[in-house]
């Protein structure tokens, strides 16, 4: 079993830091239609159930409607927008994704702000499903020229998303804003008796990287919505 130091947990938490400001949601409207998905897990030929285990929704049928959501952390944390997992669902080209950096350059050990904007490009309401545990996180990684992740050592990369599922419904033109920070540091394993823990190993070496943002979308959204890469220079 691996123990993560307080410093590591602090850095990982920074990757999911969400700016908390006031939201201005429209009045919530009860669902009058059959919601997407039934929550029934897939069944194999032998009758056994397969797929990830997801806690049942504490608020089935709730529709969290927004023109603008800039406090995603506060919106989903309490479980008010929890939903059953989508069974048949695809974003297609309906969700616009934009990621920008406060600066394309950062010094070793320095920080850069990462701003994420998700926009409903369609003319209809668009549900967006997120994994939350207990909040929604957007892991940030640094890839070198060979496509190798360089922040964490082998066996310490962020795992697949899991947890409950939150369902946010955007009006046409509605947007979700997320702000987080990337810290240009790397980690290594340190033995502690029979165990080991992650410790900081200094700043990232100077060079050109691709900053990778992983999106915690639930459902079969396709590769287009699994990650977003943009250049970052450590100098």
d(CA 102, CA 181): 10
Sign of CA dihedral 158, 159, 165, 170: positive
- pTM for this one? 0.69
Residues of the chain with pLDDT below 70 are 1-62, 88
pLDDT of residue 37: 38
Summarised one tens digit per residue, pLDDT across range 114-156 is: 999 999 999 999 999 999 988 899 999 999 999 999 998 887 7
Degrees, nearest 5: CA angle 58-62-63: 140
d(CA 131, CA 15): 15
pLDDT of residue 196: 84
pLDDT of residue 180: 94
pLDDT of residue 62: 58
What domains can you pick out in the chain, each with its CATH number?
A: 2-27+58-234 (2.60.40.2360)
Q: Over the Cα atoms of the chain, what is R_g?
A: 19
């Amino acid at each position: 079993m691996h123990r993560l130091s307080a410093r590591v947990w602090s850095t990982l938490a920074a990757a999911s830091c969400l700016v908390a400001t006031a939201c201005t949601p429209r009045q919530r409207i009860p669902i009058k239609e059959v919601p997407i998905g039934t929550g029934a897990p897939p069944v194999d030929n032998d009758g056994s159930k397969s797929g990830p285990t997801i806690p049942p929704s504490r608020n089935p049928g709730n529709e969290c409607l927004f023109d603008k959501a800039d406090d995603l952390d506060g919106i989903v944390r309490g479980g008010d927008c929890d939903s059953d997992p989508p069974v048949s669902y695809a974003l297609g080209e309906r969700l616009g994704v934009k990621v920008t950096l406060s600066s394309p350059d950062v010094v070793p050990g320095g920080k850069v702000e990462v701003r994420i904007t998700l926009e409903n490009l369609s003319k209809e309401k668009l549900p967006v499903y997120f994994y939350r545990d207990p909040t929604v996180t957007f892991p940030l990684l640094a890839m070198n020229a060979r496509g190798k992740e360089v922040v964490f050592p082998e066996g310490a990369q962020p795992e697949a998303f899991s947890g409950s599922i939150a369902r946010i419904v955007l009006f046409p033109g509605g947007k979700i804003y997320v702000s987080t920070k990337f810290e240009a540091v790397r980690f290594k394993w340190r033995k502690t008796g029979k165990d080991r823990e992650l410790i900081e190993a200094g700043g990232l070496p100077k060079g050109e990287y691709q900053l990778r943002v992983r999106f915690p979308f639930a459902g079969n959204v396709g590769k287009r919505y699994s990650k977003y890469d943009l250049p970052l220079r450590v100098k």
